Amino acid sequence: MIRAAVLGSPINHSLSPLLHTSAYAELGIENDYSAIEVGSGELQEFLTGKENGWTGFSLTMPLKEEVLKLADVVDPIAARITSANTLFRRDGKWIASSTDLTGVISALNSRGFESGSKAIILGAGATARAVAGALDSRVDHIQVISRNPEREDAMRACVLTSTIEFSPWEYTAGISKADLLVNTTPLYGADLFVDYLPSKIDSLFFEVLYKPWPSLLLAGWKERGGESLDGIDLLVHQGLDQIELFSGRTFDRAAMAHFLRRKALATLE
């Protein structure tokens, strides 16, 4: 029996309950997976008394950094990107992990993107750090375009091999010329760039949002012929890693990813 939940605030929009319960049902595993509103500063109180009977938790904002101070063990990936989206029990301890980073890698691999010369990341928050860590050594150079120069040190710590630079929040023609563009900004954050896109695009865009669906930037990119990944791809692939952690089961990941993507899209289209 798996008992788990996705925690965060706001949480009512989350598709994690749909994906997790669908996957466990497909695997024939009894489960109880829900969405629970837990705001900033509330995680420690929420976890009190949850040591028994709970398998683990999926974490969304604003808890991805807060959890690092509460876990008994923080795995190396989560420590490097200072963000964890997964908390689970092992040997009587709470372990914080990041399947955001591994989810980005799996999503890119599913579209055949294994390496490149340059990637551009829009934003510099927790998801951006996961993306930077995932792209480290896969691309030669990473450019971060953001409004928050105070986040540069944390972003630099995520990158050990690739070179990285930071640019102010403004459109640059290079956005459509890099091998990969990743948008990690919040709701409507990057829509202003749509008006500046060229008429023809042949590079890959990864939009990590899935609400609104599709974002203006994603729709504009596809209209101009660009290849794309979206927030459902990330949600599914990071979710697959959580499902493996929570269930202890292995399965056909490609088939499960296809199954869960169809489930998610049915709620958005």
Q: In what order do the strands lie in the sheet with 31-37?
A: 31-37, 2-8, 56-59, 86-90, 93-97, 73-74
Residue 112, both tokens: 């055949």
Task: Identify the pLDDT of residue 10.
Answer: 92
Kindly list the domain boundaries of the chain, sorted by start residue: 2-97+233-268, 102-229
For the cut 80, the answer to whether the pLDDT of residue 187 exceeds it is no
Same fold, 2-97+233-268 and 102-229: yes
Mind listing the pLDDT tens digit for each residue in 38-63?
Answer: 999 999 999 999 988 899 999 998 99
CB atoms within 10 A of CB 223: 12
What are the CA-CA distances from residue 113 to residues 46, 179, 193, 260 (Å)? 39, 9, 23, 21
pLDDT digits (tens, 9 = 90+) for 68-98: 999 999 999 999 999 999 999 999 999 999 9
Assigned token pair, 58: 């999926």
DSSP string across the chain? -EEEEEEESS-TT--HHHHHHHHHHHHT--EEEEEEE--TT-HHHHHTT-SSS--EEEE-TTSTTGGGGT-SEE-HHHHHHT---EEEEETTEEEEE-HHHHHHHHHHHHTT---EEEEEEE--SHHHHHHHHHHBTTEEEEEEEES-GGGHHHHHTT-SSSEEEEEESS--GGGGTSSEEEE--STTTTGGGGGG--S---SEEEE---SSSS-HHHHHHHHTT-EEE-HHHHHHHHHHHHHHHHH-----HHHHHHHHHHHHHHHH-
Predicted pLDDT of residue 47:
96
Q: Of residues 64, 69, 177, 222, which has the active-site annotation?
A: 64
Per-residue model confidence (pLDDT) at position 173 = 67
Highest mean pLDDT pick, 157-166, 167-176, 182-191? 157-166
64 is catalytic: yes
Quick one: which of 141, 106, 145 has its CA closest to 125? Answer: 145
Please say if the pLDDT value at position 177 is more than 70: yes
For the chain, give the mean pLDDT.
Answer: 93
CATH class of 2-97+233-268: alpha beta
Which residue is listed with tokens 């092992």? 90
pLDDT at position 242 is: 97
pLDDT, greater one: 171 or 93: 93
Q: What is the mean pLDDT of residues 194-219?
A: 89
Q: Per-residue pLDDT tens for 14-24?
A: 999 999 999 99
For domain 102-229, give the CATH number. 3.40.50.720
First-to-last alpha carbon distance for the chain, in angstroms, is 32
CA distance 7 to 38: 6
Residue 99 burial (CB < 10 Å; 0-12/13-18/19+)? buried
